[in-house]
Chain A
Amino acid sequence: MKRILAAAAAVAAAAFSASGQVRTGDEGQLSASFETNTIYYVDDKGIPGSTPDDHFGSNNYLKVDYNYRKFSAGIQIEGYFPALYGYEIGTQEDPKKLWLGSKYISWDDENFSVLVGNVYEQFGNGLIFRSYEDRQLGLNNSLEGARVSFSLSRYLTVKGVYGRPRLYTDYAGSWVRGMDLSISIADIFKWDSILLSVEGSYINRYESLDKDSFMDFYSLGLDTPQLNMYSGRVNFGWKGLSLKGEYATKSKDLPTSASTKAVKGAAIYAEAIYSYKTFSISGTYRILDNMGTMLSLYGSGTGNALNYLPALTRQYTYMLANLNPYQVNVSGETAGQIDAYYSLRSKESRHKYWNFHANYSTAYTLNPSQSSTEGIQLMWSDANVDIERQWGRKLKTILLFSRQEWSPSHGFEAETYVSNIFVGDVTYKFDRKKSLRVELQYLLSDDYEGDWAACLAEFSFAPRWSIFASDMYNLEGTKKNYYNAGFSYTKGRSRIQISYGRNRAGYICSGGVCRYSPAYTGLNFTMTTSF
């Protein structure tokens, strides 16, 4: 381990002194990246009790890869000194502070590949299996094991995975194995302009039910340590039209750590996209029925997920539009969203155009038992529209309106809250290097914390410097300010950002998956570099 760390330190030192890549031999090459997210937490009378005892948190990742022709190998060292406040990694029983979070050796031939180590893979739309990393969530559920893939020309691809899943800074006590098969009908019949494929996947999770005498899974209805999941899919594409459909099912299981009864699960996913010139429309629809699947029956938290069931909602970059994000209800949900885009472009100038976008997303409970009213309840809806106008080389404006209706009880009660959000976003470019961006936002609501106002100003001096300041203020409820100011400096592939601010308690979402973050005030230092 010390040797690995010494080697990694040498590589990191090289990364800071130059940008490029280390060639070792004729074609062998070494590349690496480093990321740190460090916060010094400050006592804040405005949000009492929000400071961790040692006032410090730091998440660090060093990834090193070596590649020689068809051979690759790599490691990822992770350091939590300690984990940032609110990250589930830090709340585990015995989290490792510095450890080899990931490693692999792989061989990729034209039609055959094998990887031994931490496997990142996804079958279909992830309804039964996705292993991936999301550092913003502190999530890494890669499989420590092996993956083999074989392709027969373009006609057929078979993948197999086997391993034990990573759970925070340890490994779950379960074993996961699975296969995925994809057959391209269009290639078999040589339909060049069409995409038509049929696919199927199988996942098995094995975990002993007798590891903890205090947990009696038999009384909850589980009678076997084996969980089986199946999925079937069809993909079709022709010119501007693309269609996808998937059906998944699973055997009896406890969908979440709070489940009191073992049940079977199922899911349906459908997606359609149509594009014609600068108009395009897309829609996704999904039904989830007890489809939550844990890596381990003995674990809990956002990171304890074997499959990928994100919220089907719009992803905003504006503070007030993200104030109350929807979190998926894996027990039962019918959800969908539709997006329409249209761009109106000037024939005389490429610097003048209108971009129009409308989106609607909604989610309802699936089973009457999910609600106290024993009916189907709305959990979320968002109708929004944004208009972007590029006036010329210097000026761009964006106007956004969003009407969000959400259930504070996740559909258990009939009561919902409504927010109307208005955003104005202006960017002005003074010359080739200097620009200013200003956001003004207002949230209008008779419910929960009432009205909010927010603003942001960002001055950029390309290509290296950016200075920003923002504030978000609750006018009627807590009447608190959530301010933030800082700067970033970028050179090549390295970027440093230092900021100071107060953060509201709430859900941090990435890729539709959310984790709860407590309120805090602090000085934040982030740095990323790679070579």
Chain B
Amino acid sequence: MPSVELVGVTKRFGRKTALDNVSLRVEDGEYAVVLGPTGAGKTTLLRIVAGVLKPDAGEVRIGEAVVNDIPPDERGVALFFQNFALFPHMTVLDNVAYGPRMRGLPEQDCIRIAREMLDLVHLLERANSMPHELSGGMQQRVALARALATGANLLLLDEPLSQLDARIGEELRYELRRFVKDLGLTAIHVTNDVDEAMAVADKIVVLKRGSVIQVGSPEEVYLKPKTPFVASFVGEATVFEAIVRAVDSERVRVEAMGVEIMAYAQGFSGGDLVVAAIRPESIRLLREAEPALANRLEVTVERISFIGGMLRVECGVVGTDLKLLSLVPDEENVELAEGEKLFASFSPEEVSIYPYPSEGLFRELSLE
């Protein structure tokens, strides 16, 4: 079973640096997701692991062996791309049995493995169908069964669910993780979809403009984003510029657009320009009478959207231009209305404070 390690990998295409000194380790049996916007270098990274591309500098290790000079078909990897075509003239079973046959296994083993993999993706009863008789979602599952049947221990997935209807993709992402775990594989999965990444990953690698920004469990990346970019890219957040007005041993008071906010943060001094970020579910919306946390701001509800059983509420802080984003449960007995005045309340622990990015906040948050 393989671990995968990249050490100082750099790749340029002409003048563009696709990957800039990337180091990364994926443990044996781990499900890693490389997450980033288009152009971050995700696919380049995956192709370098597969051996389809050669790095300009750095090492790729699979297991403990350096594989820089090993051709793709000897690396023990299975590749699965978004527009992976099935062989149109072969039955579903023959498509899946293709890999084992190429490896020269006895015919009954090829059939047994193919049937097992089809069973895993719940398509055994369609073994004798032709690909064109199946829906897009089913074809995708056949393609996955074919990749799994190669017997490779390392599965590389490039946007595996992006061509599917959203609801099918949501169902399939949990199945995909289950297949990988049931077979004890190591997986590296590339996507620009944060929700997909959070649902399947043991470890998320956030990539931006060819550099690794943060590596951690979904929980760490979401709850302790290392930079303003991670805060705004991995889920929604209110992100704004602020100035430090006062500090004590563990807390700071910052001001943004005339609004004062308390936060737990260290290493800042009065007058520092900083960036603050708050996750929407950290901001509670209260009526006047309810007890509030340390930060309590009067707000006007501007827009309520319904997302997955929750209410996403855009608020404006009364008397200022500061906007806050809140996520609250959609309770049966609570009605919120646009235009209503409420109190937004959040704890100082839930405010992340970052040094102001050297390239400016706009460029820091840019998804390109």
Say whether A associates with B: no
Residues of A in contact with B (beta carbons under 8 Å apart): none
